[in-house]
Chain A
Amino acid sequence: MIEFLQHLGENTRTSFTKLGRGTFFLLQTLSGIPSVLIRPRLLLNQMHSVGVLSFLIITISGLFVGMVLGLQGYYILSDFGAEETLGVMVAASLVRELGPVVAALLFAGRAGSALTAEIGLMKATEQLSGMEMMAVDPIKRIITPRFLAGFLSMPLLAALFSAVGIIGGQIVGSGLLGVDEGAYWSQMQAKLDFQDDIINGVIKSIVFGFVASWIALFEGYDAIPTSEGVSRATTRTVVNSAFSILGLDFILTALMFGDN
């Protein structure tokens, strides 16, 4: 029993210490934003590797998720003779939930793990230390541009995911299953609210982008500089990002859609 309590106490202390380090790291990262804005080239390079290179996985996944939504939605809605509302169902599911959440999970898996491994290996091969000795702040030069790139790319990727998904739903719904195409689009236009649905979805993806980028970069920066340390950090990035994204999604959904 005593051993269990000791273990619990030690784990709690370790977690809080890490949270403290993480918060300090975030503040340092944010303080580097002005210096990145002066040199937008650093940001653009990272937006390419974090954002543009995630295009393919986001597009293909979005398409399939939309197609599945179209298929499942059609089977349920047609039971009630309400298949004309398929467009609303597909679009609302994507814009409110699946777009931000699944895109963020894919982002954590593809870009987040890459960021952690990159930063962790830079630490292990003394590149970060070397930069410090060249009087170049690695936070400003390496971390902040990647953080901003992740944070800015996420809403764009989520929007792409939702848009492609809606097209996927339409391909299956109208193309294969015979839902009226006009009804698919017009019902969607009539029922979806810009403020409640689209803006809330964008806010979610901004929050997820912030958290996923923070976790990925911190885990890399805080990794034990060995091959095993970097591999563990990469795993932690994916696991912790997934938990944080799903947990935050619940909280944000409750706050945004609670009074409906």
Chain B
Amino acid sequence: MDNSVSPQSSLVSVNNLSFSRGNKKIFDDISLEFERGKITAIMGPSGTGKTTLLKLIGGQLFPEKGIINVDGNNVHRLRRSELYNLRKRMGMLFQSGALLTDMNVFDNVAFPLREHTHLPESMIRTLVLMKLQAVGLRGARKLMPNELSGGMARRIALARAIALDPMMIMYDEPFTGQDPISKGALVHLIKSLNTILGLTSIVVSHDVQETAAIADYIYVISEGKVVGQGTPKEIQQSESDWVQQFMTGAADGPAHFHYPAKDYIDDLLSTGKRY
């Protein structure tokens, strides 16, 4: 079976992207394709710029070099109003949920509907309850964000992300810090929403098991480069040291356990320095 992704069928394509923060190169000429209707995962160790990639796709950051196309639009060439129109069709689930803390759950989910549509309140109510039902939290509509657990907050944020029926959703570390039950609920939700709503999903994560269970295609990124790609099965059988270290969770390997430093003995013997 040919698993390569053809650019024609991809909703999002990242071509020759480079991006730096200060002197640190986050992405070095990487290219990625995200196929329509599929769940594509970006995996890699913490600090490899996975969240940065989502912000670049959403047009919140500008690349140094390279092009990002979303549904045929070059994100960084769009005018502000065009970018905002495109964003209405892109949902994003932030790691923290990013719920508005001065509103209750219902108003949070209703927020994009009230901002972007002129629907009557009765219809907004119906839509909000449908979205909340989809994430299993219809009964929590009156709670304030500070009364929610981390997993509930993420599910509410997911209900808000699908409020405008987007064409795609970007998930930023959806499983981090979740208990096994919440993780299971989120895995199920991401998969079922993708199928039922016909979404395209981009999941950024370093949770190997959960992501591999639902992803159609996986990119493994490390030190600004794509070090491995393929279906979950192919990734697990990959011979790349990088990919193997990441998938098995080995402490040392191509990604070093130690942060770069001078020789240990020399360092211990150099006296007279504070640090």
Asked if B94 contacts A129 (CB within 8 A), the reply is yes
| B96 interface neighbour in A126, A133, A135, A137, Cβ under 8 Å | A126
A141 within 8 A of B: yes
Contact of A134 among B55, B85, B95, B115 (CB under 8 A): B115
Q: Given the known inter-chain contacts A125-B98, A129-B98, please indicate yes or no for A134 contacting B60, CB distance below 8 A.
A: no
Is A134 a contact of B111 with CB atoms below 8 Å? yes
Most buried by B among A135, A137, A141: A135
Q: Tell me if A125 and B101 are in contact (CB < 8 A).
A: yes
Number of A-B contacts defined by CB within 8 Å: 52
- In the complex, the answer to whether B115 meets A127 with C-beta atoms within 8 Å is no
**Inter-subunit contact A135/B87 (CB<8 Å):** yes
Nearest chain A CB to B69 CB, angstrom units: 18
Residues of chain B within 8 A (CB-CB) of A137 are 84
**Contact string against B for A residues 130-145, beta-carbon threshold 8 Å, 1 for contact and 0 otherwise:** 1111111100010000
**A136 adjacent to B112 (CB under 8 Å):** yes
Chain B residues contacting A136 (CB-CB under 8 Å) are 111-112, 115-116
What's the least CB distance linking B212 to chain A, in Å? 26
User: In the bound complex, how far is the Cα of B88 from the Cα of A193, in angstroms?
Assistant: 56
Q: Is the interface of B mostly helix, strand, loop or mixed?
A: mixed
Determine whether the beta carbon of A133 is less than 8 Å from that of B115: no
Please state if B58 and A133 are interface contacts (CB–CB under 8 Å): yes
**Contacts A133-B58, A134-B115, A141-B115: A127 and B88 contacting too (C-beta < 8 A)?**
no
CB pair B90–A133 under 8 Å, yes or no, is yes
Q: Tell whether, in the assembled complex, residue B60 and residue A132 are in contact, meaning their CB atoms are under 8 Å apart.
A: yes
| Chain B hits for A122, CB < 8 A | 101
The complex places the Cα of A208 from the Cα of B107 at a distance, in Å, of: 35
Quick check: B101 and A127 within 8 Å, CB to CB?
yes
Q: 1/0 per residue B207-235: CB within 8 Å of A? A: 00000000000000000000000000000
Between A and B, 20 residue pairs with Cβ closer than 8 Å are A126-B96, A127-B101, A129-B60, A129-B94, A130-B92, A130-B98, A130-B100, A131-B100, A133-B60, A133-B90, A133-B94, A134-B87, A134-B88, A134-B112, A134-B115, A135-B85, A135-B88, A135-B115, A135-B116, A136-B115
New A-B contacts (19) at CB < 8 Å, excluding given A130-B99, A131-B100, A134-B111: A122-B101, A125-B98, A126-B94, A126-B95, A129-B60, A130-B100, A130-B157, A132-B87, A133-B87, A133-B91, A133-B92, A133-B94, A134-B87, A135-B85, A135-B87, A135-B88, A136-B115, A137-B84, A141-B115
Interface positions of A (Cβ within 8 A of B): 122, 125-127, 129-137, 141
